[in-house]
Structure 1
């Protein structure tokens, strides 16, 4: 599912027949963009974690330096230390995927 398909799906689910005013696709897109910005800035802080209920937890972890191999030549290559994003799925998400 790409971003446009996600926006279309959210638009359809949010705007089911009800007494509430409709939410536009552009408003949904702005919320998704703002969520991505918040996640980027929050996870770039040291040791930060961010949980999305029903989905899982995102975190930034430190990866130590290590020696790897160039797959073409087999020569050793030093890989520097860095921070990497990680994701842990919630039990609800794991159960939904397992039941599918």
Structure 2
């Protein structure tokens, strides 16, 4: 079964901050792959992001955070960005702050 992909405004903003066009293209291709068996990809997150999943993109550098809505058959992309622990631009740090507010 193919899922529809929905990208939130926050995710679009974060994707637009990726300046390298090849990296942007790579992230978009990885997002498109989530249309097929999204539950079998990535890992489940915990804490504030419980109910969301995360996949690696472009090697280890980027993460794409999403949730799967099985009833509507959609994958909702909520964020994408660099994974750099301790950095203020770390994708998990940005999303934790966003969902905590």
Q: TM-score range by the shorter chain?
A: 0.3 to 0.5
Determine which structure has more spread, i.e. the larger CA radius of gyration: 1
Higher relative contact order (CA 8 A, sep 6+): 2
TM-score w.r.t. structure 1 length?
0.34
| TM-score of the pair, normalised by structure 2 | 0.34
